[in-house]
Amino acid sequence: MEPIQGQWTIGQHTFHFEAPDLLWSKHQGYCTLDEAMRMVSLYRELGGIRPFFLLSDMAQAEGMEPEAKRYVSENLRPEWLLGVIYFNARLLHKALARGLLLAAQLTRSEDDPPRTEVHFVSTRDSARELSTRLRAQREEHRV
pLDDT along the chain (143 residues), means of 10: 78 96 96 98 96 96 91 90 91 64 58 70 96 92 71
In this prediction, residue 99 carries a pLDDT of 63
In this prediction, residue 142 carries a pLDDT of 73
- Judge contact between 107 and 73, C-beta under 8 A: yes
pTM, two decimal places: 0.84
86 - beta bridge partners? Answer: 56, 120
In this prediction, residue 90 carries a pLDDT of 82
Q: Given CA atoms 108, 44, 49, 78 in this order, what sign does their dihedral have?
A: negative
In this prediction, residue 28 carries a pLDDT of 96
In this prediction, residue 143 carries a pLDDT of 63
